[in-house]
């Protein structure tokens, strides 16, 4: 084998190994950052939904209070067993 070809092959292998190592490291770091952001967004979404559920519960209680005051028998006719 020609010494020049051998040197070229060694340089090629080193360049390929360096590139692959860099690519793998970059890939998994980017994936980790994406997973962190996804978890953060899910946590924010859960918090927002919990706040919305609390507001809706208060509205429902207010409506039931108004109905209890204005139409005392409404539960007998419209209660769904809860």
Q: What is the pLDDT of residues 16-37, one digit of tens each?
A: 999 999 999 999 888 888 888 8
Q: Is 31 inside any structural domain?
A: yes
pTM tops 0.85: no
What is the count of structural domains for the chain? 1
DSSP state of 1: -
Across 49-57, average pLDDT: 94
What pLDDT score was predicted for residue 78?
Answer: 73
Residue 81 has pLDDT above 60, yes or no: no
- Asked whether the predicted pLDDT for residue 82 surpasses 60, the reply is no
Classify residue 64: in a domain, yes or no: yes
Domain extent for 8: 3-70
Within a domain: 48:
yes
Q: Which residue has the higher pLDDT, 76 or 11?
A: 11
Q: How many CB atoms lie within 10 A of CB 29?
A: 10
Tokens for 14, please give them: 């080193």
Residues 6+ apart with CB under 8 A from 79: none
Residue 75 domain-assigned?
Answer: no
Q: Is residue 9 part of a domain?
A: yes
60 occurs within a structural domain: yes
CA distances from 1 to 4, 7, 12, 15, 60 (A): 9, 10, 16, 21, 85
């Amino acid at each position: 084998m020609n010494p020049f070809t051998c040197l070229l092959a060694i340089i090629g292998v080193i360049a390929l190994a360096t590139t692959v190592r860099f690519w793998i490291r970059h890939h998994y770091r980017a994936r980790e950052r994406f997973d962190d952001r996804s978890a953060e967004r899910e946590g924010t979404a859960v918090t927002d939904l919990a706040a919305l559920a609390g507001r809706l519960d208060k509205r429902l209680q207010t409506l039931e209070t108004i109905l209890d005051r204005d139409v005392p028998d409404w539960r007998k006719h419209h209660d769904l067993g809860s």
